[in-house]
């Protein structure tokens, strides 16, 4: 199999969408937070928690969509903790974000061990199945939901008064305050909903990709999403493009490993590629990125 | 609500809130123990007992604290200058790689090899952090994300080395490096006690960092850059150079954790020498309020929680992940408490 065969195969393109889906959800979540002025480094841990919450809900007998809902609510909870500490209390978004990632992952692993003390290999669940629809038939309906989340995010941010207020609160919160709108409420809401989306992204891994929960399954995807938001210049459409490009490369490297060219190289090099690529994307975009003006700047009324 | 600075916080205010944060952490521990089906008081007692109850436990806690002092110092130095080094894990591993390479390949005579290993580790870790720092100062690339992502890259790189060029031919197929020769091992502080000189070096480093921060121009500049980089630049400080120097110190300190684990404790390199010491260093540094001498105390505290929770988990059946939850909550409670000790919450 050579490189053109890879790029022309249908399974390759199916894999691209499958790899991109969790990234798309979580990238939209992070984008919403950052547009409102809050960097959410809790993303990695929130994805872990979402993956677990979705899986355990379905394992306990709830329907699949209820699993997605549980994941979303779990994300909202962690988002509210993050938001409370960083928005009204104005604590360092770096420190709180790392703390939330630690808290959410540790709480997840703790809960997993409490729920299933004796299990050596995690039980599988009946996950979302491919739709079989004429277009993208090999994808599950969650992939469609991921694509829809981009359209909805873009529409809300750029076509509704709420979106205008959210973007303004990330650019110039004092002006929003002057309009009589609640700066803290808008930011809290953005962090809560954004974190919910991150958790749904995590739940894609258990409910649509691996059908089971295991430790370290998120494996840096959250950090990659942070890079994708920068790569996408805080625009939903461009971030989607970034996620697809990224997933395309990831799907390509997996297949390249099986070619003669790939067999001669250490497999760790291929596994490291996603992270190196994210760093490269950050470097390439660094000159042109339009950072929201008030990103990482807490707002305290009466302070200039 | 809004926040109003408290002009001169009383002692009660400055101590009361952090104490409340610790109390809240203990409450979380008790609640988690209850959720997991244990008796909260007994579980807490077993954690304390497992950390300091016996001579073996105390030595274990000191050993566990050693790498945490190094990574805690690395984070404290960097965060003080608002250089967000989340890559201590990667720097630790590169330090460990340099240590093994020099220890097994250099052929240096006995008394020289340990200093050479330490120096090599420091250089490796320092350069590892210099890269992301230059990307930050030259191109404005956020160092949080780059240092985080590089942790994954370096871990894969170490995995490659251990399965390839650095693999121990006598290792029965296990991915581990050859063992260091005897003269390249750090001696024990007291003969017969399982505590190596890495701990002593960690204490010396803490003192050294404190001296640099309190007594030198560089220490003053690092603090000034952290407080307000624009004002520091306006005052004529070479902000980028200060950040680069901070990076070299921070990366070097984190790498010493790898040096100390390999040369002092393990004797060889495996891909699992650090169960997240680099990340835990963030908690250590924050609990110490970024004070280098405080790092020693908080590293002992954090190590005690880990060692105690491990031992409790074996007897009480509560998952040892309780330790990680406690540390994350302690971190969040503590940053909140510090803020509340300096600001008053006002309605409206």
User: Contact at 8 Å (CB) between B69 and B203?
Assistant: yes
Interface test mutation site (partner A, options B319, B333, B341, max chain A beta carbons within 10 A):
B319
Q: State the residue for tokens 């950052």.
A: A34
Prediction ipTM score: 0.93
CB-closest option in B35, B145, B153 to A282? B145
Task: Report if residue A196 sits inside a domain.
Answer: yes
Q: Give every CB contact of residue A5 below 8 A, 6+ residues apart in sequence.
A: none
Question: Do strands B2-5 and B343-346 pair parallel, antiparallel, or not at all (unpaired)?
Answer: antiparallel
Task: Report if residue A126 sits inside a domain.
Answer: no
Q: CB contact, 8 Å: A279 with chain B? A: yes
Residue B167, burial from CB neighbour count under 10 angstroms (0-12, 13-18, 19+): middle
Q: Which of B186, B195, B208 is nearest to B259 (CA)?
A: B186
pLDDT in tens, B279-318: 999 999 999 989 999 999 999 999 999 999 999 998 888 9
Task: Report if residue A273 sits inside a domain.
Answer: yes
Q: What is the pLDDT of residue A142?
A: 94
Q: What is the pLDDT of residue A1?
A: 56
Q: CB contact, 8 Å: A295 with chain B? A: no
Q: CB contact, 8 Å: B123 with chain A? A: no
Measured between beta carbons, the chain B residues lying within 8 angstroms of A105 are: 324
Q: CB contact, 8 Å: A286 with chain B? A: yes
The lowest-confidence range among B5-14, B202-211, B240-249, B329-338 is: B5-14
A192: containing domain: 3-115+139-285
Alpha helices in chain A (DSSP H): 3-8, 10-35, 43-59, 64-86, 93-115, 141-159, 161-171, 173-178, 183-204, 221-231, 236-256, 260-263, 267-285
Cα A38 to Cα A198: distance, rounded to the nearest angstrom? 14
Number of structural domains, chain A? Answer: 1
User: Contact at 8 Å (CB) between B249 and B211?
Assistant: no
Cα B160 to Cα A229: distance, rounded to the nearest angstrom? 30
Task: Report if residue A55 sits inside a domain.
Answer: yes
Dmax (CA) of chain A? 65
Cα B333 to Cα B286: distance, rounded to the nearest angstrom? 11
Q: Which of B345, B343, B346, B2 is nearest to A182 (CA)?
A: B2
Hey, which residues 131-160 in chain B have their CB within 8 Å of chain A? 135, 139-142, 144-146, 148-150, 152-153, 156-157, 159-160
Cα B172 to Cα A2: distance, rounded to the nearest angstrom? 36
Measured between beta carbons, the chain B residues lying within 8 angstroms of A221 are: none
Cβ separation A98–B279 shorter than 8 A: yes
The lowest-confidence range among A220-229, B2-11, B214-223 is: B2-11
Measured between beta carbons, the chain B residues lying within 8 angstroms of A295 are: none
Task: Estimate the crossing angle of helix B88-105 against helix B55-80, to 10 degrees.
Answer: 110
Measured between beta carbons, the chain A residues lying within 8 angstroms of B139 are: 283, 286-287
Share of chain B above pLDDT 90, in %: 78
Q: Which of A170, A145, A168, A154 is nearest to A40 (CA)?
A: A170
Report the alpha-carbon angle B29-A222-A46, nearest 5: 35
Q: What is the pLDDT of residue A181?
A: 94
Interface test mutation site (partner A, options B88, B89, B134, B156, max chain A beta carbons within 10 A):
B156
Measured between beta carbons, the chain A residues lying within 8 angstroms of B142 are: 230, 282
Q: CB contact, 8 Å: A106 with chain B? A: yes
* CA nearest to A113 within chain B: B319
CB-closest option in B145, B153, B348 to A226? B145
Cα A218 to Cα A226: distance, rounded to the nearest angstrom? 14
Q: Which two tokens stand for residue A106?
A: 């540790």
DSSP string, B99-134: HHHHHHHS---HHHHHHHHHHHHHHHHHHHHHHHHH
Q: Which of B139, B101, B92 is nearest to B273 (CA)?
A: B92
Q: What is the pLDDT of residue A303?
A: 64
Hey, which residues 65-84 in chain A have their CB within 8 Å of chain B? 81
Domain harbouring A8, CATH code: 1.10.3470
Cβ separation B146–A117 shorter than 8 A: no
Q: What is the pLDDT of residue B209?
A: 97
Task: Report if residue A159 sits inside a domain.
Answer: yes
Cα B195 to Cα B189: distance, rounded to the nearest angstrom? 6
* CA nearest to B324 within chain A: A106
Q: What is the pLDDT of residue A99?
A: 96
pLDDT in tens, B94-130: 999 999 999 999 888 878 999 999 999 999 999 999 9
Q: What is the pLDDT of residue A255?
A: 84
Cβ separation A96–B332 shorter than 8 A: yes
User: Contact at 8 Å (CB) between A76 and A192?
Assistant: yes
* CA nearest to A265 within chain B: B160
Contact pairs from chain A to chain B, CB under 8 Å: 130
Cβ separation B152–A219 shorter than 8 A: yes
Q: Give every CB contact of residue B45 below 8 A, 6+ residues apart in sequence.
A: none
Cβ separation B325–A272 shorter than 8 A: no
Dmax (CA) of chain B? 70
For residue B310, give Cα distances in angstroms to A6, A76, A163, B61: 48, 31, 48, 11
Question: Can you tell me whether residue B4 is helix, strand or coil?
Answer: strand
Beta bridge partners of B343: B5
Q: What is the mean pLDDT of each run of 10 residues along chain A (304 residues)?
A: 72 90 98 97 98 96 96 98 96 95 96 86 85 78 95 98 96 93 96 98 95 90 94 94 92 82 84 90 80 87 63
Q: State the residue for tokens 């020498």.
A: B273
User: Is residue B133 predicted with pLDDT exceeding 60?
Assistant: yes
Residue B192, burial from CB neighbour count under 10 angstroms (0-12, 13-18, 19+): exposed
Q: CB contact, 8 Å: A223 with chain B? A: yes
Q: Which two tokens stand for residue B99?
A: 């240590």
User: Contact at 8 Å (CB) between B248 and B256?
Assistant: no
Q: What is the pLDDT of residue A258?
A: 80
Task: Report if residue A217 sits inside a domain.
Answer: yes
For residue A30, give Cα distances in angstroms to A23, A40, B280: 10, 6, 24
Question: Can you tell me whether residue B73 is helix, strand or coil?
Answer: helix
B238: closest CA of chain A, how far (Å): 22
Measured between beta carbons, the chain B residues lying within 8 angstroms of A110 are: 32, 36, 319, 321-322, 324-325
Q: What is the pLDDT of residue B8?
A: 83
Measured between beta carbons, the chain A residues lying within 8 angstroms of B282 are: 95, 98
User: Contact at 8 Å (CB) between A249 and A273?
Assistant: yes
Measured between beta carbons, the chain A residues lying within 8 angstroms of B141 are: 279, 282-283, 286
Q: Which two tokens stand for residue A41?
A: 């480094």
Task: Report if residue A294 sits inside a domain.
Answer: no
Cβ separation B335–A91 shorter than 8 A: yes
Buried b (16+ CB within 10 A) or exposed e, A180-219: ebebbebbbbbbbbbbbbbbbbbbbbbbbbbbbbeeebbb
Cα A280 to Cα B128: distance, rounded to the nearest angstrom? 16
Instruction: Tell which wins on pLDDT, B334 or A253.
Output: B334
Beta bridge partners of B5: B343
Q: Give every CB contact of residue A177 below 8 A, 6+ residues apart in sequence.
A: A183, A299, A301
Q: What is the pLDDT of residue B348?
A: 66
Cα B41 to Cα A69: distance, rounded to the nearest angstrom? 36
B180: closest CA of chain A, how far (Å): 25
Phi, psi of A216 (to 5 degrees): 60, 20
A149-158: which pairs have CB atoms within 8 A and are 24 or more residues apart? Answer: A149/A24, A149/A25, A149/A28, A149/A197, A150/A24, A150/A28, A150/A236, A150/A237, A150/A239, A150/A240, A153/A28, A153/A31, A153/A32, A153/A236, A154/A235, A154/A236, A154/A237, A157/A32, A157/A35, A157/A236
Mean pLDDT (whole number) for B244-265: 97
Cα B197 to Cα B123: distance, rounded to the nearest angstrom? 20
Q: State the residue for tokens 């200060």.
A: B242
Q: What is the pLDDT of residue A187?
A: 97
A273: closest CA of chain B, how far (Å): 8
DSSP B172: T
Task: Report if residue A37 sits inside a domain.
Answer: yes
Share of chain B above pLDDT 70, in %: 100
Q: CB contact, 8 Å: B161 with chain A? A: no
CB-closest option in B2, B317, B328 to A99? B328
A202: closest CA of chain B, how far (Å): 18
């Amino acid at each position: 199999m050579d490189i053109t065969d890879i790029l022309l195969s249908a399974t390759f393109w199916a894999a691209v969408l499958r790899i991109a889906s969790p990234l798309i959800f979580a990238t939209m979540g992070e984008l919403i937070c950052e547009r409102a002025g809050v960097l959410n480094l809790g993303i990695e841990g929130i994805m872990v928690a979402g993956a677990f919450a979705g899986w355990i809900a379905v394992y306990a007998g709830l329907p699949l969509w209820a699993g997605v809902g549980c994941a979303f609510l779990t994300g909202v909870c962690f988002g509210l903790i993050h938001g409370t500490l960083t928005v009204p209390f104005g604590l360092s978004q770096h420190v709180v974000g790392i703390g939330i990632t630690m808290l959410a992952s540790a709480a997840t692993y703790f809960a997993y061990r409490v729920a299933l003390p004796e299990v050596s290999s995690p039980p599988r669940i009946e996950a979302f199945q491919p739709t079989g629809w004429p277009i993208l038939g090999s994808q599950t309906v969650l992939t469609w939901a991921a694509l829809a989340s981009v359209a909805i995010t873009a529409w809300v941010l750029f076509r509704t008064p709420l979106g205008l207020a959210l973007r303004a609160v990330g650019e110039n919160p004092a002006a929003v305050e002057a309009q009589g709108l609640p700066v803290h409420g808008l930011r809290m809401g953005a962090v809560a909903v954004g974190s919910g989306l991150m958790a749904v992204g995590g739940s894609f891994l258990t409910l649509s990709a691996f059908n089971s929960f295991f430790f370290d399954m998120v494996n840096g995807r959250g950090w990659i999403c942070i890079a994708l938001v920068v790569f996408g210049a805080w625009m939903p459409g461009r971030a989607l493009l970034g996620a697809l490009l990224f997933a395309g490369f990831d799907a390509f490297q997996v297949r390249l490993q099986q070619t003669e060219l790939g067999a001669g190289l250490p497999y760790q090099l291929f596994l490291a590629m996603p992270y190196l690529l994210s760093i490269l994307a950050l470097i390439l975009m660094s000159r042109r990125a339009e950072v929201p003006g008030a990103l990482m700047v807490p707002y305290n009324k009466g302070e200039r | 609500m809004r926040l109003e600075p408290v002009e001169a916080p009383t002692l009660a205010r400055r101590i009361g809130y952090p104490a409340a944060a610790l109390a809240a952490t203990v409450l979380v521990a008790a609640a988690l123990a209850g959720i997991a089906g244990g008796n909260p008081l007994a579980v807490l007692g077993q954690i304390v007992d497992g950390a300091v109850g016996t001579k073996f436990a105390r030595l274990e806690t000191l050993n566990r604290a050693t790498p945490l002092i190094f990574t805690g110092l690395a984070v404290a130095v960097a965060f003080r200058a608002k250089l967000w080094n989340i890559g201590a894990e990667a720097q630790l591993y590169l330090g460990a790689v340099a240590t093994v390479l020099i220890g097994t390949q250099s052929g240096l005579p006995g008394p020289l090899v340990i200093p050479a290993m330490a120096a090599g580790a420091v250089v490796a870790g320092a350069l590892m952090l210099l890269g992301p720092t230059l990307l930050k100062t030259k191109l404005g690339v956020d160092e949080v994300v780059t240092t985080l992502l590089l942790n994954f890259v370096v871990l894969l790189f170490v995995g490659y080395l251990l399965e390839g060029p650095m693999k121990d031919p006598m290792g029965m197929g296990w991915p581990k490096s050859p063992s260091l020769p005897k003269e390249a091992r750090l001696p024990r502080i007291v003969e017969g006690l399982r505590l190596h000189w890495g701990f002593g070096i960690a204490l010396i480093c803490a003192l050294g960092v404190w001296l640099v921060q309190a007594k030198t121009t560089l220490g003053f500049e690092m603090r000034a850059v952290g407080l307000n980089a624009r004002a520091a630049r306006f005052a004529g400080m070479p902000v980028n150079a200060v950040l680069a120097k901070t990076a070299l110190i921070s990366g070097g300190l984190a790498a010493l954790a790898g040096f100390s684990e390999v040369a002092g404790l393990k004797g060889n390199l495996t891909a699992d020498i650090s169960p997240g010491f680099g990340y835990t260093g963030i908690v250590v540094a924050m609990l110490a309020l970024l004070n280098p001498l405080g790092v020693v105390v908080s590293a002992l505290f954090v190590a005690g929680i880990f060692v105690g929770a491990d031992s409790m988990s074996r007897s009480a059946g509560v998952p040892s992940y309780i330790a990680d939850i406690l540390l994350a909550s302690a971190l969040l409670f503590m940053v909140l408490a510090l803020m509340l000790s300096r600001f008053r919450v006002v309605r409206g």
